[in-house]
Amino acid sequence: MKEIYLIRICGKCKKTNILINEEVEDTIKKGYYISCSHCGSKRIFKENETSDLRKCMDNNVYKRVKGKIRQVHSI
């Protein structure tokens, strides 16, 4: 079974980006590139793939802000 989520770490700002694997593959297939959603850098590195969203959040601290989950900082 194929993994659903793809975890990427930015090489510039060191923040985590959690992406959906199908959308990433579709974007790359169309000839576009993936960039960091925080700083816009193209240097993002693949860290892990998983089907469980809770495993994506293991190494980071998150809190709810107005009903949305936000990353506070990496540990």
Q: How far apart are CA 53 and CA 42, in angstroms?
A: 24
Mean pLDDT of 15-34: 92
Q: Model-level pTM greater than 0.85?
A: no
pLDDT in tens, 43-61: 999 888 888 777 776 666 6
Positive or negative, the Cα torsion across 10, 58, 7, 23? negative
